[in-house]
A and B are shown apart, each in its own frame.
Chain A
Amino acid sequence: MSQPTRGYRVFQGVNGVVLTLVVLVTLYPFVNIIARSFSGEGHIRAGEVALWPKGFNLTTYRIVFQDSMFWRNYGNTVFYTVVSTVIAMVLTTCYAYVLSKRDLKGRGLLVGVAVFTMFFTGGLIPNYVLVTSLGLKNSVWAIALPNAISVFNLLVMKAFFESLPVELEEAAEIDGLSTYGILLRIVLPLSKAVIATMVLFYSVSFWNSWFSAYLYMDRTELMPVTVYLRNLIAGATTGGNAGAATEQLSQVGANIQAVTIVLTSLPILCVYPFVQRFFVSGVMLGAVKG
């Protein structure tokens, strides 16, 4: 190790300051929103809320908790996320496994079919027309089916399957296991890490999605909570959240937004510290493959 020069030490100091700023700028909005969600409306209006709640009260939380539509939409989000993730996992695993067989005839074509869709898509309108005419509107299928395979996830999973030792599968084949048997009894048990990563990738993206539901769901009671929140921040002028449009509500508008933001991101914020490492390794796995 050579001696750090003076210039380098100055750089280290500046670097520390810059990165501290990055952390502060990233975190401040969260802290502020949480503080706002517990604050009195008057203090928010006056712009007094920064890091700590002013005029602490739980009125807004009570209002949101009593809104049956909020809970209904929250439940929808859970339901849509689970169904969509299961479908996505089955389809992605099957295809990734097929693609991982290096000596399969026609493999290049099968890869091409998937990869081409990363660069050219049908576009919003044909998709909308398709989903509508298939009669998928107002059902979970409108969310789950059109997004059943993410090509990025597919490639990550394929890379993982390719890294498994071939000898194991060959031994299983000699012992008389069929392809399905090999996949279910040999490959999947060895792939817990990548399966966990994929479940996380898919479930977070379905939990966070809003546009499919916004596009294909007509009735408020079918909306996921993200659309509930979207309707709130759009000013709630369309009467999107019927039943709660009281005077009380309009008074605490800014507050309700803060509370809903906190409650909607809560599950993600809670699991984030635990799942973050999974995501990171998953993305790197995909990145190394290119």
Chain B
Amino acid sequence: MSTSTTSAPPPDTQDPAAKTPRRSPLPVVRRGWRRAWRRDWQLYSLAVLPLLFFLVFRYLPMLGNVIAFRRFEPGGSILGEQWVGLRYVRMFLTDPTFWQVFRNTLWLGGLTLLFCFPLPLVLALLLNEVRRRSLRRFVQSVSYLPHFLSIVIVAGITLQMLATDGPVNHALGLLGHDPVRFIQEPGWFRTVYVGSEIWQTAGWGTILYLAALTTIDEDLYEAARIDGASRWRQIWHVTLPGIRPTMITLLILNIGTFMAVGFEKVLLLYNPLTYPTADVVSTYLYRAGVESNSFSYAAAIGLFEAIIGLVLIMSANQLSRRTVGTSLW
């Protein structure tokens, strides 16, 4: 807004460097800190507690990752006792279970991306075509609902629906099928996981797309109609390009969380019988660290996971900036 830049407080207290259009030479900026402090110390004081929070609960754990390279003993220093180099990294790289959970992670992450990313977009486009406003609002309200429930409840509902005496098996029985043990069979886990993920997130995912759709200029549709574009071509040439920035942003964010797929949900849905397909990197490191007390080993895996995540999101960001010109930063 223009108001914030034109009406500044008395000129002597203004820091000209803060305004992009009129960049002043460096010396003014250097003198600025002391003056800024004198003028704004009350504002800075409001930031103290939040900064302390970020420092202790976000940045200290990042440093805490050094225990991946140091031997850690429970009850000892949180930064570990002595350096052991890449011992724990080598350990998990030669651990067959690690590679199995790594493969499972790629599978679950890939399937989630394949199904849970495009479905909200499709749903949003369908909703957008509904003419009756009340109907549209109703469908939206219903489809958002699962998002507001605890993941424990979602897992509980999933297990109940798929139990051997649950409705799904009952329906299969009517079709003459034998009951399927969805929860106990490794072969079913990926379907169960992705299915429940769709149920929980597809509706809520439409919200950002619907927001983006409202910003598209009606004149563009008018122009397309005059040019003789069919409904389908209007979607292709006007709607989709209009929401492309939103799509790209969401895709980048999705790719960024790829490695951390559904930690909590997997933890709630899996059991030792389904480990062969269900166990992912994050659940494995949870069991290794918290349940078996191999903190350093688990931290090494966690660091590996976080770095892959960071690399993924940064490359996705770079790629989209180069190719389509949209990026998160």
Of residues 25 through 57 on chain A, the ones whose CB sits less than 8 Å from some CB of chain B are 25-30, 32-33, 36, 44-50
Q: Are A261 and B211 in contact (CB under 8 A)?
A: no
Q: Are A166 and B3 in contact (CB under 8 A)?
A: yes
Per-residue CB contact flags for chain B residues 149-186 toward chain A (1 = under 8 Å, else 0) read: 11111011101110101110110010000000000000
A129 and B7 in contact (CB under 8 A), knowing A103-B14, A104-B43, A180-B42?
no
Q: Which of A8, A98, A123 contacts B303 (CB 8 A)?
A: A123
Q: Are A128 and B160 in contact (CB under 8 A)?
A: no
Q: Chain B: which residue is nearest A169 at the CB level?
A: B9
B81 within 8 A of A: no
Of residues 81 through 139 on chain A, the ones whose CB sits less than 8 Å from some CB of chain B are 90-92, 94-95, 97-98, 101-107, 110, 113-114, 117, 119-130, 133
Q: Which of A26, A120, A178 contacts B143 (CB 8 A)?
A: A26
CA distance A258 to B289 in the complex (A): 33
Q: What A residues does B114 contact at CB under 8 A? A: none
Q: Are A145 and B153 in contact (CB under 8 A)?
A: no
| Size range of the chain A interface in the assembly | 35 or more
Q: Are A23 and B139 in contact (CB under 8 A)?
A: yes
Within the complex, the shortest CB–CB distance from A184 to chain B, in Å, comes to 11
Within the complex, the shortest CB–CB distance from A108 to chain B, in Å, comes to 10
Which of these binds chain B: A64-72, A188-196, A239-247, A264-272?
A264-272
B261 within 8 A of A: no
Q: Chain A: which residue is nearest B46 at the CB level?
A: A94
B319 within 8 A of A: no
CA distance A11 to B126 in the complex (A): 10
A211 within 8 A of B: yes
Q: Chain B: which residue is nearest A1 at the CB level?
A: B225
B216 within 8 A of A: no
Q: Are A11 and B57 in contact (CB under 8 A)?
A: no
Q: What B residues does A176 contact at CB under 8 A? A: none
Q: What B residues does A22 contact at CB under 8 A? A: 123, 139, 142-143, 203
Q: What A residues does B157 contact at CB under 8 A? A: 29-30, 33, 261
Within the complex, the shortest CB–CB distance from B179 to chain A, in Å, comes to 9
Task: Give the size of the chain B interface in residues (CB under 8 angstroms).
Answer: 104
A208 within 8 A of B: yes
A133 and B61 in contact (CB under 8 A), knowing A26-B142, A119-B256?
no
Q: Are B150 and A126 in contact (CB under 8 A)?
A: no
Q: Are B53 and A91 in contact (CB under 8 A)?
A: yes
Within the complex, the shortest CB–CB distance from B96 to chain A, in Å, comes to 21
Q: Which of B8, B36, B47, B282 contacts A105 (CB 8 A)?
A: B36
Per-residue CB contact flags for chain B residues 55-95 toward chain A (1 = under 8 Å, else 0) read: 01111111111010000100000100000000000000000
A251 within 8 A of B: no
Q: What A residues does B203 contact at CB under 8 A? A: 22, 26
Interface centre among B19, B61, B138, B142 (most CB of A within 10 A): B61
CA distance A131 to B300 in the complex (A): 19
Q: What B residues does A23 contact at CB under 8 A? A: 138-139, 142-143
Q: What B residues does A209 contact at CB under 8 A? A: 150
Q: What B residues does A178 contact at CB under 8 A? A: 42
Q: Which 5 A-B pairs have the closest CB atoms?
A: A122-B61, A126-B64, A123-B302, A208-B150, A179-B42
Given contact pairs A30-B157, A110-B51, enumerate 5 new A-B contacts (beta carbons under 8 Å).
A92-B50, A124-B290, A129-B295, A130-B56, A173-B9
| Contacts A/B (CB < 8 Å), 18 sampled | A5-B230, A19-B139, A26-B142, A32-B167, A47-B165, A104-B36, A117-B54, A117-B59, A124-B282, A125-B285, A126-B64, A126-B67, A149-B53, A226-B150, A229-B153, A233-B156, A283-B207, A284-B211
Residues of B within 8 A of A (CB): 1, 3-4, 7-9, 14-15, 17-19, 32-33, 36, 40, 42-44, 46-47, 49-51, 53-54, 56-65, 67, 72, 78, 123, 126-127, 129-131, 135, 138-139, 141-146, 148-153, 155-157, 159-161, 163, 165-167, 169-170, 173, 199, 203, 207-208, 211-212, 215, 225, 230-231, 245-246, 249, 256, 264, 267-268, 282, 285-286, 289-290, 295, 298-299, 302-303, 305-306, 309-310, 313
